[in-house]
Structure 1
Amino acid sequence: MSTATHPEIYDLLIIGGGINGAGVARDAAGRGLKVALCEQNDFAGATSSASTKLIHGGLRYLEYYEFRLVAEALAEREHLLNIAPHIAWPLRFVMPHVKGLRPRWMIRLGLWLYDHIGGRITLPHSQGIALDRMGAPSGLRADITRGFAYSDAWVDDARLVILNLLSAQEHGADIHARTRLLNARRSDGTWQCELENTVTGARRNVSARALVNAAGPWVAKMDQMLNPADQGGKHAAVKLVRGSHIIVPRLFAGEHAYILQNDDKRIVFMIPYEDKFTLIGTTDVPQESMDNGASISVEEEAYLLRAVNNYLARPIDHADIVWRYAGVRPLFDDEADNPSAVTRDYTLVLQDADNIPCVSIYGGKITTYRRLAESVLEKLAPWTKTRRGPWSKEESLPGGKFKRADRAQELDYLKKKYARLDAHFLTRLFGRHGRLAHVILKEAQTPAELGRDFGGGLVQREVEYLIMHEWASQPEDILWRRTKCGLHMSEQQRAEFTAWFHARNAAKLKTEFKAELE
């Protein structure tokens, strides 16, 4: 039974806690709307924590004449580097040139466009380079001596979601993790919705003047529930495309990444990751459904290994893989036969039966999430009364209120303030939280004051913060999304942390139950 006799009334209810839902919640709440967001699992629990971690225009999209998408993404790259300088930073990409693939003139033309179509660009322009004269060994075959370099950026995707949700909450939004939409219907000028906590089973009723379907790979299924065909609903088609990645020990020195041309005209990235590793991805493989989630196939692993081994001086194999993950892109079905050719642009489908609106989000990429959110608010403008217009590109995300040029200075200040703590630990903590690292550490000056050390750079003090302030309720929320410490831990350390986490929660529940009885 519902716990609410008189449902709360929101201006906007958002279904889905990935990057698009989080971005819409932040934008809408910042405009003064009463906003709620619910996510049936953990925030960024699907595609938004399984990306290639790039803020980029998408160089290869130029081949498909996606000029507007590339220009918008390059402009957004600048905005994101400014509002999230703690979790996003510039990254130089090197494209080795090999005969038989794209000719040099085509690459030069594409890079020239990439340098100029995004408006004011602060990152260094592209250039031709000699790979055999780089500051450190390239790690590539000795016969690959020429290439090109250009600029893009890297981001911690899951943390970008969390920081947007924290910002939305600061602006008044109600954020509900592990809460699913059971049903929704249009009635008396609003959406009448029933929500259920997937952990406790508790249910509640809410009303909303508008809904946003940001369910990611489940967008089509949600759209059909919200807008039944027998009630006049018209549904867009979604094409689910899986992108898989593998992580291996560091393959090359230097802070640059590689973008490798493949013989199928796709590209594969090799990106420095978490100091000690190299991230390799991605694939483009049709996914039939989300019934069993997403996981990398043997064929995809072989594809990625073959792609990088065509370039590496010392080939790698399956035994080198230390971690693997896959995400599913819910792309708008434009009937392209090749999954790589399906547009990465977003499509917003508005349905307003009985003058009660619902916007469903198809497609999109993490780079353009902020602009997508603005577009959603534009779609809903006839039904919403906001206190101000677009604002989100000006205000820093939590922990990032400093200029990106001052990042090194901010980190240096943190290290000096906590001089008795490990410098590498502080660097990684700052890379997750920025200035909020000071809130986590407080007055701690010694490792003992940080509580239990779980290994991999994860300490009890940060864990408690993540549970209290960032909706973490399961071990994997912390190991793989709020942090990437699981990658640095042994299997035994991960098991010990999981046991500690569940014991902690059990003890907390016992204490709370005892307090209720008293």
Structure 2
Amino acid sequence: MSLKSSAPRSTVQSVIDRPQASVLIIGGGINGIATFRDLALQGVDVTLVERNDWASGASAASSHMIHGGIRYLENGEFRLVQESVQERNGLIKIAPHYVKPLETTVPIFSTFSGILSAPLRFLTHKQGKPQERGALLIKVGLTAYDSFSRDGGSVPRHRFHGRKKSLADLPKMNPGLKYTATYYDASMHDPERLALDVLMDGLAAGPHARAVNYVEAVGMGADGVELRDTVTGQTFTVTSDVVVNTSGPWTDLTNAGLGEPTTYMGGTKGSHIVLDNPELYAATKGREIFFEHEDGRIVLIYPLKGKVMVGTTDIDADPSTPSVCTEEEVDYFFDLVKHVFPTIATSREQIVYRFSGIRPLPKHDDEAPGFVSRDYRIERRAAAARPSTTVFSLVGGKWTTFRALAEHLSTDVLNTIGAPRPVETLGLAIGGGAGFPRTDAATRTWVAAHEDGTGAKRAEQLLGRYGTKAAALLEHLAEHGDDRLQGAADYSVQELEYLVEQEQVVHLSDVLHRRTSLAFTGSLTAGLVDEIARVVGGVLGWDDAERTAQITAALDRLRDAHQVDLRVDAAQEAPAFS
């Protein structure tokens, strides 16, 4: 379905008006966005384009964690673990509104299991016969994991408990366990909103930094990279000294489109389900339950936004085809929940959302998916169609290391164009993390200073949702009103209007999936989708036909990509889930 917005796309025009840039970045996932921010802060003339919405591909399919990757130790990826732990600790400080310490418990069912097979896996990266890791191996791993964190105080060190204390602490757990190990990583409860904060930091650097969504790269010639606006169909060319390909699992496809065929990538599919299961939510006691299933896969049960997210799988996938969560994967998730919490029933009726994505992993041939490196590398070559242009391709990368990765990639770009690095991003607050209150007393002080016009409760809610960037929104609401949506009282008409105006919203789905958490939490109904479409369309100037087309497209996406079919029972105020 072709969707068109009748509102002017000033962001696209800003790129058309500046057909030359020092750097063109293709791919607006978290790594492309972070690289854009880094270069923009250095004063580099940089343009970022994304063929869909920001952070809507692999970045939208994460496990909502910022973690050091304890299991990477078994792969021998010590550099990655050290960098990941350091970046985790750093993000807790510079993005405290979205990244917070997460207590994580591992149920353990044996003492010595895995001791003989682990060295073989370490040396060969072959899975071999699946075997759960026992207490001794996990203890060694967590001790090593703690040693990588040199920033005491960001998160506590791990602790071990025997069966009796473990079941007293988490009584719904499988009574067959022998131990539990509890350690801390970090949660990232709104990854798409964190990505938007990173993006807006880059745009705020000045007019030398331009970023536009729904623009795709379709070719490359002697004049530069040809781009196409997917909303209007308009094509135009940007000439640059450097092209940076950060299109994640689609890196090879992007390079092929530019006339630069590569075979760098070999991603795997990871799926998740979100359950409305109050008993399971209560049983976790706010902790992530992280463990190895009997088939050797690392899986998690994660309380989030009042629901429970269960994941993930690790299956070889083709990035040229859509990634969806299958019924077989759902059965697998139910089996693993039963393995840990045997008395808690799960069913498909409890699923409010499913999502799936492809990890941007390197080509791995016959290497077991779980052992494919999660580290990243940067490939460099001269463009065949324009030898004076250098093309960098990012292979790999994950949410946790986005800042460090962007610093690395940006440094390579700066060296290529001969530009200095006047600004360091290490320790530099991201978006609404700047000045974010760290204590209850500081929160009360912030709220008291911003509650006029909306009240303290609403000010505190928006502080939690947007960080200190909520201050500007609260001023907007105090001036224009704060009329709550009929179908979602946590949001208001004026709040959504503000997001549409400020955050490059183009389609209705942008609001449902990424500017808000309404889809993720299963809060959508057919009536609410229509209500939000009227708000969004009022800002973007949609006529009745366009609004209807946007609603149809949004409902199709919910059904096809997330198995949420709101058409099944559209007359009711509760969604129907397949």
TM-score of the aligned structures, taking structure 2 as reference length: 0.80
1:403-426: CA deviations, max 9, x gaps?
Answer: 673477336632774388687765
The amino acid across from 2:69 in the alignment is G
Kindly indicate whether the alpha-carbon contact (under 8 Å) linking 1:195 and 1:206 is maintained by their aligned counterparts in 2: yes
Alignment partner of 1:24 is 2:56 = no
Alignment partner of 1:307 is 2:343 = no
CA distance in 1, matches of 2:497, 2:203: 19
- Of 155, 158, 176, which aligns to 1:123? 155
Farther-moved stretch of structure 1 (491-500 vs 192-201): 491-500
CA distance in 1, matches of 2:106, 2:443: 32
3-state DSSP class of the match of 1:180? strand
CA distance in 2, matches of 1:490, 1:131: 41
Kindly indicate whether the alpha-carbon contact (under 8 Å) linking 2:484 and 2:490 is maintained by their aligned counterparts in 1: no
CA distance in 2, matches of 1:9, 1:480: 33
Gaps of 5+ in 2: 1-11, 114-131, 545-578
Alignment partner of 1:479 is 2:512 = yes
The amino acid across from 1:12 in the alignment is V
Residue of structure 2 equivalent to 1:63: 74
1:229-283: CA deviations, max 9, x gaps?
Answer: 5xxxxx2331121100011124133222111221112221111111x11111111
Measured after TM superposition, the shift of residue 120 of structure 1 is 2.5
CA distance in 2, matches of 1:408, 1:298: 47
Residue of structure 2 equivalent to 1:242: 269
Alignment partner of 1:361 is 2:397 = no
- Of 227, 233, 256, which aligns to 1:195? 227
Measured after TM superposition, the shift of residue 310 of structure 1 is 0.4
Measured after TM superposition, the shift of residue 154 of structure 1 is 0.9
3-state DSSP class of the match of 1:484? coil
Alignment partner of 1:11 is 2:40 = no
Farther-moved stretch of structure 1 (109-118 vs 381-390): 381-390
1:61-210 superposed matches below 5 A: 61-99=72-110, 101-121=132-152, 122-129=154-161, 133=165, 137-144=170-177, 146-155=179-188, 156-172=190-206, 173-186=209-222, 192-210=224-242
Farther-moved stretch of structure 1 (325-334 vs 406-415): 406-415
Residue of structure 1 equivalent to 2:50: 39
- Structure with higher strand content: 1
CA distance in 1, matches of 2:444, 2:391: 43
Kindly indicate whether the alpha-carbon contact (under 8 Å) linking 1:138 and 1:252 is maintained by their aligned counterparts in 2: no
Kindly indicate whether the alpha-carbon contact (under 8 Å) linking 1:9 and 1:208 is maintained by their aligned counterparts in 2: yes
C-alpha distance 165-409 of structure 1, shift in aligned 2 (>3 A)? same
3-state DSSP class of the match of 1:294? coil
Residue of structure 2 equivalent to 1:280: 310
Residue of structure 2 equivalent to 1:220: 252
CA distance in 1, matches of 2:480, 2:536: 23
1:422-461 superposed matches below 5 A: 426-442=459-475, 444=477, 449-450=482-483, 452-455=485-488, 457-461=490-494
Residue of structure 2 equivalent to 1:513: none
Alignment partner of 1:491 is 2:525 = yes
3-state DSSP class of the match of 2:360? strand
C-alpha distance 262-323 of structure 1, shift in aligned 2 (>3 A)? same
Residue of structure 1 equivalent to 2:4: none
The amino acid across from 1:164 in the alignment is V
3-state DSSP class of the match of 1:92? strand
C-alpha distance 317-236 of structure 1, shift in aligned 2 (>3 A)? same
The amino acid across from 2:335 in the alignment is R
- Of 328, 343, 352, which aligns to 2:373? 343
1:176-213: CA deviations, max 9, x gaps?
Answer: 111112222345xxxx1222211122333321110000
1:284-299 superposed matches below 5 A: 284-291=314-321, 293-299=322-328
Measured after TM superposition, the shift of residue 456 of structure 1 is 5.6
CA distance in 2, matches of 1:315, 1:166: 43
Measured after TM superposition, the shift of residue 309 of structure 1 is 1.0
CA distance in 2, matches of 1:30, 1:288: 36
Kindly indicate whether the alpha-carbon contact (under 8 Å) linking 2:477 and 2:494 is maintained by their aligned counterparts in 1: no
3-state DSSP class of the match of 1:13? strand
CA distance in 1, matches of 2:159, 2:169: 18
C-alpha distance 309-422 of structure 1, shift in aligned 2 (>3 A)? farther
Kindly indicate whether the alpha-carbon contact (under 8 Å) linking 1:475 and 1:501 is maintained by their aligned counterparts in 2: no
The amino acid across from 1:23 in the alignment is A
CA distance in 2, matches of 1:379, 1:479: 37
Farther-moved stretch of structure 1 (425-434 vs 414-423): 414-423
Alignment partner of 1:265 is 2:296 = yes
C-alpha distance 386-104 of structure 1, shift in aligned 2 (>3 A)? same
The amino acid across from 1:464 in the alignment is E
Kindly indicate whether the alpha-carbon contact (under 8 Å) linking 1:440 and 1:461 is maintained by their aligned counterparts in 2: no
Residue of structure 2 equivalent to 1:514: none
CA distance in 2, matches of 1:466, 1:409: 26
Kindly indicate whether the alpha-carbon contact (under 8 Å) linking 2:61 and 2:357 is maintained by their aligned counterparts in 1: yes
Kindly indicate whether the alpha-carbon contact (under 8 Å) linking 1:186 and 1:356 is maintained by their aligned counterparts in 2: no
Kindly indicate whether the alpha-carbon contact (under 8 Å) linking 1:14 and 1:213 is maintained by their aligned counterparts in 2: yes
CA distance in 2, matches of 1:334, 1:67: 19
CA distance in 2, matches of 1:288, 1:386: 38
Residue of structure 2 equivalent to 1:516: none
CA distance in 2, matches of 1:464, 1:414: 23
CA distance in 1, matches of 2:476, 2:413: 46
Measured after TM superposition, the shift of residue 507 of structure 1 is 4.2
Measured after TM superposition, the shift of residue 158 of structure 1 is 0.9
C-alpha distance 298-453 of structure 1, shift in aligned 2 (>3 A)? same
Measured after TM superposition, the shift of residue 165 of structure 1 is 0.6
CA distance in 1, matches of 2:440, 2:48: 32
Farther-moved stretch of structure 1 (488-497 vs 410-419): 410-419
Query: What is the Cα-based RMSD across aligned positions, in Å?
Result: 2.8
Alignment partner of 1:324 is 2:354 = yes
C-alpha distance 51-412 of structure 1, shift in aligned 2 (>3 A)? farther
The amino acid across from 1:89 in the alignment is K
Measured after TM superposition, the shift of residue 82 of structure 1 is 1.4
3-state DSSP class of the match of 2:438? helix
Measured after TM superposition, the shift of residue 386 of structure 1 is 2.7
Measured after TM superposition, the shift of residue 463 of structure 1 is 0.8
Measured after TM superposition, the shift of residue 430 of structure 1 is 2.3
Kindly indicate whether the alpha-carbon contact (under 8 Å) linking 1:257 and 1:272 is maintained by their aligned counterparts in 2: yes
CA distance in 2, matches of 1:62, 1:384: 36
Measured after TM superposition, the shift of residue 334 of structure 1 is 3.2
The amino acid across from 1:372 in the alignment is L
The amino acid across from 1:252 in the alignment is Y
Kindly indicate whether the alpha-carbon contact (under 8 Å) linking 1:24 and 1:373 is maintained by their aligned counterparts in 2: yes
Kindly indicate whether the alpha-carbon contact (under 8 Å) linking 2:496 and 2:535 is maintained by their aligned counterparts in 1: no
Gaps of 5+ in 1: 230-234, 511-518
Residue of structure 1 equivalent to 2:568: none
C-alpha distance 475-423 of structure 1, shift in aligned 2 (>3 A)? farther
C-alpha distance 131-198 of structure 1, shift in aligned 2 (>3 A)? farther
The amino acid across from 1:216 in the alignment is G
Q: How many correspondences in the alignment?
A: 498
CA distance in 1, matches of 2:455, 2:268: 42
TM-score of the aligned structures, taking structure 1 as reference length: 0.88
C-alpha distance 245-320 of structure 1, shift in aligned 2 (>3 A)? same
The amino acid across from 2:240 in the alignment is A
CA distance in 2, matches of 1:42, 1:491: 22
3-state DSSP class of the match of 1:441? helix
3-state DSSP class of the match of 2:470? helix
The amino acid across from 1:221 in the alignment is L
